[in-house]
Amino acid sequence: MEIVRQEREPLSDGKVQPVGPVKGEIIFDNVSFQYEDGNNEVLKDISFRCEPGQAIALLGSTGSGKTSLVNLLPRFHDYTDGHIFLDGVELKDYSREYLRRQIGIVEQEPFLFSRSIGENIMYGVGRDVPQAEIEKGRQSCRRP
């Protein structure tokens, strides 16, 4: 019950209300992050730029902060120092709801719900999805 009673994070807290999808330019500018317990900094002064459509790889040992870094983008956590820009706008100025509708994360270990493949593909979409669109999604997941 302690988990159920937790206060929910605000989802519509952003100042910027963009129309349409993001282009995808991401800039990390001296970003640092530590969890709320404040024991130690997980990320310190991270800077890089990712152009729209560009693929980057995050390499590091277990516990080095790769997942923490990725979790900053949909604002599962807020960075404690520095700046992250998405398409030229400070990430904290976007609402969590908007970011989470725009950003997809594929975990290293895949997880499927105990439902049909179609229901797994549609999970979190928030609208009725035509069967043709589901089939298109299934086909894009197949290996060559």
Rounded mean pLDDT, 6-17 = 77
Centre a 10 Å sphere on the Cβ of residue 43 and count the other Cβ atoms it contains: 20
Alpha-carbon distance of 98 to 11, in angstroms, equals 8
Amino acid at 45: D
- Classify domain 26-102 at the CATH topology level: Rossmann fold (3.40.50)
H helix or E strand, kind and range, residue 50:
strand 41-50
Burial class (CB in 10 A: 0-12, 13-18, 19+), 70: middle
pLDDT tens digits, one per residue of 71-98: 999 999 999 999 999 999 999 999 998 9
Query: Could you read off the pLDDT of 108-133 as tens digits, one per residue?
Result: 777 778 888 778 777 777 778 888 88
Delimit the domains of the chain by residue range: 26-102, 111-144
Q: What is the pLDDT of residues 18-56, one digit of tens each?
A: 878 889 999 999 999 998 877 788 999 999 999 998 988
Whole-model pTM: value is 0.70
Residue 135 has phi, psi (to 5 degrees) of -60, -40
Backbone dihedral region for residue 119 (phi beyond 0: left; psi -120 to 50: alpha; all else: beta) = alpha
Q: Of the candidates 102, 95, 98, which has an alpha carbon nearest to the alpha carbon of residue 12?
A: 95
The SS3 assignment for 54 reads coil
